[in-house]
Amino acid sequence: MDNRKYSRRSFLDRSTRGLAAAGAMGIYGKLDLPEERVKHNSQKDIIFRDLGKTGVKLPIVSMGVMTATNPEVLVRAYEKGVRHFDTAELYQRGNSEKMIGDVINRMGVRDDVVISTKVWAISHNPKRRNEISNPSSPEKVRQYFIEDFEGCLERLKMDYVDILYQHNVTYDNSVNARVAMTNPGILEALEELKSTGRIKYTGATAHFNMASVLNEAARSGVFDVVQISYNFSMSDDDELKDAIKNAKDNKIGVVAMKTQTGGEGRDKTPINQTAVLKWVLRHEGVTTAIPGFTNFDHLDEDFSVASDLEYTSEEREFLESEDVIKKLDFCRQCSSCEDTCPRNADIPNLMRSHMYARKYGDFFEAKSTLKMGTENIISLYPCMECNECLAKCIRSVNISKNIEELKLLFA
């Protein structure tokens, strides 16, 4: 790290949001250090892992910048050792990208960090969405995907991003060909962006069918990194565990999201945050996790895991408690409830939207998610005229209550 580029004081002097006293630097060198573990200012070791075949090594705790709005949290995260910041074109209507770009560029540490963003294969522009509803027109898909990505670069004020994810893919193109990870227009766009240096690595994100997406990425070699939803509610999913291992064996970087199932309201939940984060990271196939901490306390709590994955007795007790799955209250998007709805509502998507609204307090993301369901249908439509919800979760998600809450918010 070149201290001429960044000091906390120089950043703060230029920042429009003042901070308290400038603290110790606490900064170590570049990402591509050969050591597996690097000392930082607390003298504890940070655990690094390889991001697949990219040659990049990342601390096992990174930052998901979905709902964070305080740039000082990003500065502090960098100082503590976070080197990967994850965003998406949709997060905070593009303001997440703007904030990351502003912070990283002001600090002058662009080359020391890994920035990822995501573009949705179905353009968020409704006119374009209609135009590309036919996946047999790959040229339009390619063009719009690249144009949407150029918007990301503009907001980030960067020449390139490290990882560009095709957002929210499905493995099975018979379900929704437009968002399939084999969509030829998207694959062409990713290849073009990589060959012209506007992205370094290609990626795909999956909120459901994670095992299939990981296995396909491992088979095809097209994607360098896969970001998956992964948390303790999936602890009995051996297929997914095997797919993570398979991805590691095939040198695919795996980034874990939704690790604590929480979001903004985490202080109000009975979840032991470090226990569930450690559980995810104890899978060696997971390169790094991107908890979405939004304040200093949550940052400190989550980053403490980066140097120590041993469970405390309290954490172990939490994970072994009988009602842990209920406490997590997480829809793992398994679709097992599909046949219990007489109107074929896209329940997994509805539950995901509910999570963003209730747990993250992110109504924009919740609304956008409702549009991401089964083709051309806003996921809440089938529920609008339905007076009694008969849908049942095979686990512990209260579908009818959640749908009532969604109706109050969005109907």
Angle between helices 71-80 and 95-107 in degrees, nearest 10: 50
What is the rounded CA–CA span in Å between residue 38 and residue 392? 48
Q: How far is the CB of 28 from ligand SF4 (least distance, A)?
A: 41
* Contact present, 220 and 244 (Cβ < 8 Å): no
Stretch that binds ligand SF4, among 217-225, 279-287, 307-315, 338-346 (CB under 6 A): 338-346
Q: Quick one: 37 or 343, whose CB is closer to ligand SF4? A: 343
What is the rounded CA–CA span in Å between residue 120 and residue 105? 25
* Contact present, 201 and 255 (Cβ < 8 Å): no
* Contact present, 360 and 330 (Cβ < 8 Å): no
- Does the protein bind ligand SF4 through residue 347 (CB under 6 A)? yes
- Does the protein bind ligand SF4 through residue 22 (CB under 6 A)? no
Q: How far is the CB of 322 from ligand SF4 (least distance, A)?
A: 18
Residues 369 to 408 in contact with ligand SF4, rule: CB under 6 A:
382-383, 386, 389-391, 393-395, 397, 399, 403
CB atoms within 10 A of CB 382: 20
- Does the protein bind ligand SF4 through residue 326 (CB under 6 A)? no
Stretch that binds ligand SF4, among 143-151, 178-186, 218-226, 336-344 (CB under 6 A): 336-344
Q: Quick one: 282 or 401, whose CB is closer to ligand SF4? A: 401
Q: How far is the CB of 209 from ligand SF4 (least distance, A)?
A: 12
Q: How far is CA 20 from CA 9, 13, 205, 301, in A?
A: 10, 11, 37, 20
Q: How far is the CB of 172 from ligand SF4 (least distance, A)?
A: 16
- Residue 20: CA atoms inside 13 Å, Cβ hemisphere, count? 5
Q: Quick one: 324 or 383, whose CB is closer to ligand SF4? A: 383
What strands lie across the sheet with 225-229, from one edge to the other? 63-64, 84-86, 114-120, 161-167, 199-206, 225-229, 253-257, 288-289
Q: Quick one: 315 or 329, whose CB is closer to ligand SF4? A: 329
Residue ranges in contact with ligand SF4 by CB under 6 A? 331-337, 341, 343, 345, 347-348, 351, 382-383, 386, 389-391, 393-395, 397, 399, 403
